[in-house]
Amino acid sequence: MNTMDKAFMIEAINMAKEAREKGNEPFGAILVKDNKIVMRASNQIFSGSDPTYHAEIGLIRDFCRTNNTSDLSEYTLYTSCEPCCMCAGAMVWSKLGKMVYSVTHDQLAEIAGSNIMISSEEIFENSPNKPTVLPKLLNEEGLEVFDGYKFG
C-alpha cells in the first residue's frame, strides 16, 4: 500500500457516496493505469433501471467497450467494497491485474443483515486469471458510507 493507493481508494469511496446521493446502492469504483484514473463508475441499478449495473461491472463493461479491449491485465480497479460474484467474474474474464477494496464481503453481509452471495475470494480461488488483491484499504472510511443506510 502506498499513498497513491490511498488517494485512489478515497476516490472510489467518493463515487460510492455519489451513488448513494443519487438513490442508488452505495458502491463506487475507479480504474487506474500507470497511476492515472482512466474511468470512474458508481452503482446505477436504480437510476439506470439496470440491476446488473454495479460499479465494478459497469466500469469494466464501459471501459472495455469504449477502448475496444477485453484485457485489463495492466490495470488496477479500486472499489469501495469487495465485489459480488458477478463483478468478480467480470474481473476474471477481463484478466484484471489488481483489485483493491475497502469494505469486506463479511462486513457488508453484516450491514445488509444476511450473507449476500459468495465472496470474491471464492471466485478468484480457482481462477486462472485472478487479480492480485489488496483488501480492507481505508476500511473505516469505506464503512462510513453505509452509516444509516438500509438495503431494500
Active site residues: 56
Return the C-alpha cell found at 3.
499513498
Taking the C-alpha atoms of residue 45 and residue 24, their distance in angstroms, rounded to an integer, is 6
- Is the separation of the CB atoms in 98 and 79 below 8 Å? no
Closest CA to 150 of 104, 111, 118: 111
Using CA atoms, how far apart are residues 65 and 143, in angstroms rounded to an integer? Answer: 31
Q: What DSSP string runs through 97-118? A: SEEEEEE-HHHHHHHHTS--S-
Q: In whole angstroms, how far apart are CA 2 and each of 8, 138, 147?
A: 10, 12, 27
CA separation for the pair 4, 63 (Å, rounded): 21
